[in-house]
Structure 1
Amino acid sequence: MISNTLMIQGTTSDAGKSTLVAGLCRVLARRGIAVAPFKPQNMALNSAVTVDGGEIGRAQAVQAQACYLAPHTDMNPVLLKPNSDTGAQVIIHGHAIANMEAGIYHDYKTVAMQAVLDSHDRLCEQYRAVVVEGAGSPAEINLRDRDIANMGFAEAVDCPVILIADIDRGGVFAHLVGTLELLSETEQARVAGFVINRFRGDIALLQSGLDWLEARTGKPVLGVLPYLHGLHLEAEDALPRDHYARPEGACLRVQVPVLPHISNHTDFDALRLHPQVDFEFVGPGETPGPADLIILPGSKSVRSDLHWLRAQGWEARIQRHLRYGGKLIGICGGYQMLGRQVHDPLGIEGAPGSSAGLGLLELETTLEAHKQLRNVTGTLALNGAVVSGYEIHLGVTWGPGLQRPALQIEGRDEGALSLDNQILGTYLHGLFDQAGATDALLAWAGFSEAASPDYQALREAGIDRLADCLEAHLDLNAVDRLLGL
C-alpha cells in the first residue's frame, strides 16, 4: 500500500500517538520534505488559535511546529470540547457550530466526515506527506459505526496504519494482539506494523516477545522507542503524567487547582519546567500547603467550576492566602471567576442564569455566542515586558476594575490589576511563555531572583530530541515506503 498519507493509531489513549506524529513530522521536515500533521477528530480542552483565525487541538499546533508550519484549521477539522459528561461543543473547521449530546453528535458524524475529507484533500494537494494521528483506540467496538477518527478515516482515504502501544504500563503484547484481533479483515490488512513506546531496560530481554509478536501477527515491529526521561511536549489534553523534582534552595511556590473542566493547562508548562518554581497541580480532595502564588486556570464551564471551587474550600483558602500577602492570577475562565458575577443568559455552558463570582475584582462577565479567537502580542503593565499568546473565550468582561489594565495588547487595554496589586486577571493564554514576562510576574509574586529559561527553546529542543530518537530507533526506510517517498 503506497500513499502520501500515513496514520498512527494507538492501542489506548496516551499510547504515544501525538508524540510519534510530532517526531515523524520533524524527521521529515529536517530532510526538506513538505509535511503536514492531521487529526480528523480530536476531543480536547487544550486548543490553539490558527493562522486562519480558528481553533484546533493543541497537539496539532505542536505537530505543526514540528513541521516548521503555522497551525491551520485543516490540520484538525473536527474538535470536540467536552462541557459535560455527555456533551461537547462541536467545532468544525475551527469554529463552534453547536453544543451536542453524544447521541446527537453520533448522527452528525456523516456531516463531520465530509469536513474531514475536505481538509485532508486540501493538505494532500499542498504537501508531499501527511502524517495522521488517530484518537483513543480503533478497537472501541461501540464507536465503530460511522467512525471518523480511526479506521473509518483510514478506510475512506485508503492509507496505511502503524499501531503504537505503551510498554511502560504493562500488557503491551495483549494490547497489540487484542487490538488487531478486534479489527475487520480489511482493517487488519491496513496495519503495516507496530511501534512499542516508552521501553526501559535491556532490549535483549524483549527480543523473544518481539519475535513471538511478529510470528503471531505477521506484522513487523518497526521500532522500540526508549523512555525519554524529562522529554517535554505539550500535552494533548490529560494533565502531564511526569512529575519533576522540586527545586532546592530559593524558589516560588505556585499552586493551580485542577478544575473539573480545566482548559489550556499548557499555560503552566513554563512554570512546571522552571528550575526555581515549586509548582503543584492541586486535585480534588487534596489539601495543599501554603503558596506564594495561586493561579485560577481556564475553564470550559465557568459557573459549574465556580461551584466546584467553593465546594472544595478554595474560596476560603484564597481569601486566607490574600490576607497573608499572597498573589493571585486568573487566566481566561479563572479571570471571569475573580469578578462579581458571571452571566450566561443564552445557556451556552449550561442552564441559563447567573452565578456569583469570587468578588475580588470590580468586574462582571457575560457569556456570548460569538467566540473570540486571536493570536496576540503585547506588554505587561507591571514593567513593560513582552508577552505573546492567544485568546479563546466567549465572555465579554466589563466594570470599573478594567481601569487598571494588566496588559497592553496591540494598542488596547486588557485584563485587570487590583488596587492593592495582589490580584491580576487576563484573557491571555501563554502568559508565561516569554522569559522576560515570567521573570516580571515571579518578581511581582515576591521572587526577585528569577532567571527564567527560554521556554520556546525548550519546546524546540524537545521536538528535536524526539526526532533524534526516531532516527535511531525507528525503521524510517519502512516509513518512507509507506509514504511513497
Structure 2
Amino acid sequence: MITSVGRSGQARCVMVLGTTSGAGKSWLATALCRWYARQGLEVAPFKAQNMSNNARVVAGGEIGSAQYFQALAARAEPDVRMNPLLLKPERDTHSQVVLMGRVSAELSLLPWRGRSERAWPQIAHALDELRAENEVVVIEGAGSPAEINLMASDIVNLRVARHADARCLLVTDIDRGGAFAHLYGTWALMPEADRALIKGFVLNKFRGDATLLAPAPQQLEELTGIQTVATLPMWWQHGLPEEDGVFDDRSTASGEVTRTIAVIAYPRISNLDEFQPLKNIAGVRLRWARSPADVAGADWIVLPGSKNTSGDLAWLRAQGLDRAVAAHAGRGGAVLGICGGLQMLGEALIDPHGVDGNGPGLGLLPLVTVFAADKTVQPREARFAELTGPWAALSDVAVRGYEIHHGQTAPHAAMAAAGDHAMPVMPDELAWQNAAGNVLGLYLHGLFEDPAALHALFGATARTLDSVFDGLADHIDSHFEAGVLRSLIE
C-alpha cells in the first residue's frame, strides 16, 4: 500500500499518451485507475476531450463511456469533470459538442480551433478540481501528441500534460508493426521540453517471444533516453468494452455457439459498449451486420442506438437490411430496437425542429417519433410489465439503465384507432412490444449490463465489471518493470 502521496491540492498525475488511435490508451488508463485504487489511494480519471458516440449518463449530464468505466475502476463516482468536452460525430464534418455534460449549440457551430480556445478554461478548471480532491489523477490523451497539424490548438495531449505536470507513458500497438518507429517518431516530433514528460514506453498487444525484441528497446533508449517499461501481451478476452464498441470473434467468449445475435452496424452507431456483457457469456456470438447475409441464421437482430437515426435508417434501406429485418420478424424471429433502433422500428420519424430528419420507419411497431429540440439525458430505473414471445423472460424484471436521446415516441393514433396497438411494457413510454411478441423496442440503454436482465434472458451471470477491472490491474502488475508504477507517483 502506498501512503505517501497526494496532499490536498497536489494530486500526482499519470498520463497515458499513444502513438496512434487504438494503441491502447483507454485500456491502460482503466488498468492504472484500478491499480492505484488498490494501493489505497483516492483516484480519478480525466480526459479533456473525447470523440465518441459511446456515452454514459452521470451526475450533471453525459461523458464518454471510457471515462465512466475508468471512474468505476478507480472506485470513484463518475462525474462530468472527468470528461469535460465530448464530441459526438453526427456526420463526417460535424459533431455535437457536449461541454461539462450538456450540449452546447454555440460550440457545435464553431470551427475546431476556435472551439478549443473557448473550452480550455473549463477543461483546466475541471482538472484542477479533480487534482484538489484526489491523490492520483490518471489522464488519457487522444490520438497522438505528435499530430503537428493540431498541436497549436491542442487541449487534450501536451497542453494537459504541461498543466498537470504529468508523468507520461507512451503506448504503441506492436501488433500493427512499426512500433519502434512509431515510438521514436512520436518522441522526435514532440517539442523538446515536452519530451522530458515521457517516463516510459509501453509495447501493447505483443504476440510471440519477448526476448526477440532485443536489441530494439535498448537502441531506442540510447536514442531517446527513455526506457521501455512494459511489454503487454495480446489479450482478446479481457472483458472491458472497446472505446468505439468494436468487437469480433476473437474477443467473443469461446465455446459452442448456442445463440447468435446480429447487431446492425450502421455508420452512426452509438453506445455499442453496452453489448460487452454479452461477449462474456458462454455460447453467445455477436456478429456485425452490414448486409442481409450478415443477419442470415441469427437468433436475434438488434438495432442499436444511433447518433443520426434518419441517416442510418436510409443507409439500412440502401443495404437491403430493411427487408432482411422485416423477413426475420415475419418468421417470428426476435428483434430488439434500443433508443434510435426503437425509433427506426416505428412507422414514421417527424422532425419539426431540424434535429435529425424526417422519414418513414420500418413499420414493425405502430409508433411515431417526433424529434424534440431538447435532449433527454437521465438515469432510469424501471420494471418490465408482462411480455410475451421470446422476450417473456423479462416479465416483471426491474432494471437500471439510462436515457440519452432526442425525440419522444408514442402510439400511432390512426393505427391504434383501427385496432393495431403497440403494447407498452414499461412505464413512461420507455418500451413497447408488438402484438406477436417478437419485436421489442425500448429507450433504456444498459439492458445487458443489468445482472437481473442477463440472468432472466440467459440463465447465466456474466463477469462483473469489478472482476474485469481487477483482471486489468493484475495484468499490468505482472508485465510492468518492478517499481515503475509506484515511481510514477513518487
Contact 2:291 2:321 in 1 (8 A): no
Spell out the pairing of 1:330-341 with structure 2 (5 A cutoff). Answer: 330-341=337-348
Correspondence for 1:260 among 248, 267, 280:
267
Spell out the pairing of 1:393-412 with structure 2 (5 A cutoff). Answer: 393-399=405-411, 404-408=423-427, 412=428
**2:134 is the alignment partner of 1:127:** yes
SS of the equivalent of 2:20 reads: coil
- The total of aligned residue pairs comes to 466
The one-letter code matched in structure 1 to 2:324 is R
SS of the equivalent of 2:154 reads: coil
> Over residues 40-97 of structure 1, what are the superposed CA-to-partner deviations in whole Å (9 max), with x where a residue is unaligned?
00000101111x1310000101101111122110100000000000110000000111
Spell out the pairing of 1:242-281 with structure 2 (5 A cutoff). Answer: 243-244=250-251, 251-281=258-288
The more displaced of 10-19 and 268-277 is: 268-277
Query: CA, structure 1 residues 109+286, in 2 after alignment: closer, same or farther (shift >3 Å)?
Result: farther
Could you say which residue in structure 2 is the equivalent of 1:16? 24
Query: CA, structure 1 residues 109+142, in 2 after alignment: closer, same or farther (shift >3 Å)?
Result: same
**2:487 is the alignment partner of 1:481:** yes
Spell out the pairing of 1:112-261 with structure 2 (5 A cutoff). Answer: 112-240=119-247, 243-244=250-251, 251-261=258-268
Could you say which residue in structure 2 is the equivalent of 1:362? 366
Deviation at 1:483, TM superposition (A): 2.3
> Over residues 305-336 of structure 1, what are the superposed CA-to-partner deviations in whole Å (9 max), with x where a residue is unaligned?
01001001011111211221112111000001
Could you say which residue in structure 2 is the equivalent of 1:388? 400
Contact 1:37 1:64 in 2 (8 A): yes
Deviation at 1:380, TM superposition (A): 2.3
Deviation at 1:476, TM superposition (A): 6.2
Deviation at 1:241, TM superposition (A): 5.2
Deviation at 1:407, TM superposition (A): 2.5
Deviation at 1:304, TM superposition (A): 0.3
Could you say which residue in structure 1 is the equivalent of 2:471? 465
**2:416 is the alignment partner of 1:416:** no
Deviation at 1:369, TM superposition (A): 2.2
SS of the equivalent of 1:378 reads: strand
**How far apart, CA to CA, are the structure 1 residues paired with 2:125 and 2:111?**
22
SS of the equivalent of 1:255 reads: strand
Query: CA, structure 1 residues 426+231, in 2 after alignment: closer, same or farther (shift >3 Å)?
Result: same
SS of the equivalent of 2:116 reads: helix
The one-letter code matched in structure 2 to 1:23 is A
Correspondence for 1:372 among 371, 376, 385:
376
**How far apart, CA to CA, are the structure 1 residues paired with 2:206 and 2:348?**
50
**How far apart, CA to CA, are the structure 2 residues paired with 1:319 and 1:363?**
16
Contact 1:4 1:483 in 2 (8 A): yes
Deviation at 1:207, TM superposition (A): 2.9
Q: Tell me, which stretches of 5 or more residues in structure 2 are unaligned? A: 1-9, 388-394
**How far apart, CA to CA, are the structure 1 residues paired with 2:285 and 2:52?**
27
The one-letter code matched in structure 1 to 2:104 is I
SS of the equivalent of 1:68 reads: coil
SS of the equivalent of 2:76 reads: coil
**How far apart, CA to CA, are the structure 2 residues paired with 1:24 and 1:244?**
22
**How far apart, CA to CA, are the structure 2 residues paired with 1:357 and 1:126?**
48
**How far apart, CA to CA, are the structure 2 residues paired with 1:250 and 1:213?**
45
**How far apart, CA to CA, are the structure 1 residues paired with 2:482 and 2:118?**
36
SS of the equivalent of 1:49 reads: strand
Spell out the pairing of 1:341-352 with structure 2 (5 A cutoff). Answer: 341-349=348-356
Correspondence for 1:324 among 326, 331, 353:
331
The one-letter code matched in structure 1 to 2:158 is M
The one-letter code matched in structure 2 to 1:276 is G
Deviation at 1:24, TM superposition (A): 0.9
**How far apart, CA to CA, are the structure 2 residues paired with 1:315 and 1:295?**
12
**How far apart, CA to CA, are the structure 2 residues paired with 1:10 and 1:201?**
22
The more displaced of 131-140 and 242-251 is: 242-251
Contact 2:455 2:461 in 1 (8 A): no
Contact 2:454 2:461 in 1 (8 A): no
Could you say which residue in structure 2 is the equivalent of 1:431? 447
Spell out the pairing of 1:39-58 with structure 2 (5 A cutoff). Answer: 39-50=47-58, 52-58=59-65
Could you say which residue in structure 1 is the equivalent of 2:4? none
Contact 2:259 2:299 in 1 (8 A): yes
The more displaced of 467-476 and 84-93 is: 467-476
Contact 2:54 2:272 in 1 (8 A): yes
The one-letter code matched in structure 2 to 1:452 is A
> Over residues 420-446 of structure 1, what are the superposed CA-to-partner deviations in whole Å (9 max), with x where a residue is unaligned?
212111011111223432354x4xxxx
Deviation at 1:107, TM superposition (A): 0.9
Deviation at 1:3, TM superposition (A): 6.5
Could you say which residue in structure 2 is the equivalent of 1:445? none
**How far apart, CA to CA, are the structure 1 residues paired with 2:459 and 2:180?**
46
Deviation at 1:113, TM superposition (A): 0.9
Deviation at 1:102, TM superposition (A): 8.6
SS of the equivalent of 1:364 reads: strand
> Over residues 366-411 of structure 1, what are the superposed CA-to-partner deviations in whole Å (9 max), with x where a residue is unaligned?
2212211122222222321231211111111122578622334xxx
The one-letter code matched in structure 1 to 2:49 is Q
The more displaced of 88-97 and 286-295 is: 286-295
Q: Tell me, which stretches of 5 or more residues in structure 1 are unaligned? A: 443-449
Identity %: 39
Could you say which residue in structure 1 is the equivalent of 2:391? none
**How far apart, CA to CA, are the structure 2 residues paired with 1:272 and 1:253?**
11
Could you say which residue in structure 2 is the equivalent of 1:304? 311
Contact 2:305 2:340 in 1 (8 A): yes
The one-letter code matched in structure 2 to 1:430 is G
Query: CA, structure 1 residues 33+101, in 2 after alignment: closer, same or farther (shift >3 Å)?
Result: closer
**How far apart, CA to CA, are the structure 2 residues paired with 1:117 and 1:219?**
28
The one-letter code matched in structure 1 to 2:230 is G
**2:303 is the alignment partner of 1:292:** no
The one-letter code matched in structure 1 to 2:25 is K
**How far apart, CA to CA, are the structure 1 residues paired with 2:280 and 2:242?**
14
SS of the equivalent of 1:234 reads: coil
The one-letter code matched in structure 2 to 1:115 is Q
Relative to the length of structure 2, the TM-score reads 0.90
**How far apart, CA to CA, are the structure 2 residues paired with 1:246 and 1:195?**
27
Query: CA, structure 1 residues 206+67, in 2 after alignment: closer, same or farther (shift >3 Å)?
Result: same
SS of the equivalent of 2:149 reads: helix
